Amino acid sequence: MEYKFLGKTGVKVSSLCFGTMSFGGDADRDTSAQLYQMCRDAGINFFDCANVYAGGKSEEILGELIHDHRDEVVITSKVYFPTSEDVNARGASRRQMMRSVEASLQRLKTDWIDIYFIHHFDDFTDLEHSLRALDDLVQQGKILYPAVSNFAAWQIMKALGISRQYGWAAIEVIQPMYNLAKRQAEVEILPLAQAERLAVIPYSPLGGGLLSGKYGTGKKPESGRLVENKMYQTRYGDPALYVLAERFSELASSHGYHPAPLAVAWVASHPAVTAPIIGARSPEQLKQILQCLEIKMTPELRAEISALSPEPPPATDRNEERTPFQYGSR
């Protein structure tokens, strides 16, 4: 296992992060314990969680599993999405953040959360209020590093500017969606992270299972997120993505790889990425995905894989800037 610095924090984390969304849901407690031990045996010290996963059970199980070696692992949690029917049990208001942190700390059986994400940009809360709350939580020692997930580049940069203006603890980690089917992060988010030395832990490197080898133009398993979950069906509903999945599986086979670990290795090979978030429902799935550690992602292989899906245009939409056919360079 390779270990990388978490942005500019000085903390080292494994080059894979295990997402615990399955804990208490698709994976019962015994299976969760097996998955966790497999991760530890592979050298993973980085575990991602959220207060909404399995209605809080994911945090509870993760807390039980890390309890006797808390100092050896780096964990995350998140706040934003609804945790109950109460009208205020959602969002990134100061009130909700303060209450959510306390609940997460109890479920995780820990005194601190290493990385605490605002899970989504809150259109109805002043960003200064949210960032001040994060700074207070850092000052109280309840979280160590503020973070954001599902933020646009301008929202991340605005947050950094506000924190710098007031001398508050700044965003250190970002968590965008990034995979071969969803490459929007390449346009501004990943370059921003490199420029600001932010850690990047992308989620969904398999595209909700799309790139696992189970899907194609006439191929679909009986179960899985893209079959059972309307959110994922909407996210990956474009028929062209199933053509991509089929072509990717064929390419993986031609190189002697299983598609799932190759998809993770492709995400991990981007220079801005610290650690892709992997997940699994069973030990068999995890064993397969961990094969990504054995794949040497050469520039040539990355380019071959990247050519399967459209490269998003630059932020200026001036495609010619990537070619010799422009006014020139500095």
CA dihedral 103, 107, 109, 114 (to 10 degrees): -70
What residue type is assigned to position 157 of the chain?
A: M
| Cα separation, 211 vs 262, whole angstroms | 9
Identify whether the C-beta of residue 258 lies closer than 8 Å to the C-beta of residue 248: no
- Count of CB atoms situated within 10 Å of the CB of 207: 25
Handedness of CA 164, 166, 167, 171 (dihedral sign): negative
State the chain's maximal CA–CA distance in angstroms.
61
Would residue 53 show up in a list of annotated catalytic residues for this protein?
Answer: yes
Residue 215, both tokens: 């899907």
Q: What is the DSSP string of 239-288?
A: HHHHHHHHHHHHHHHHTT--HHHHHHHHHHTSTT-S-PEE--SSHHHHHH
| Cα separation, 244 vs 248, whole angstroms | 6
Catalytic residue of the set 36, 53, 178, 203: 53
CA dihedral 4, 10, 13, 19 (to 10 degrees): -120
DSSP letter, residue 304: H
Residue 111, both tokens: 């005194």
| Cα separation, 182 vs 33, whole angstroms | 31
Identify whether the C-beta of residue 99 lies closer than 8 Å to the C-beta of residue 127: no
| Cα separation, 60 vs 206, whole angstroms | 26
> Which residues are annotated as catalytic?
53
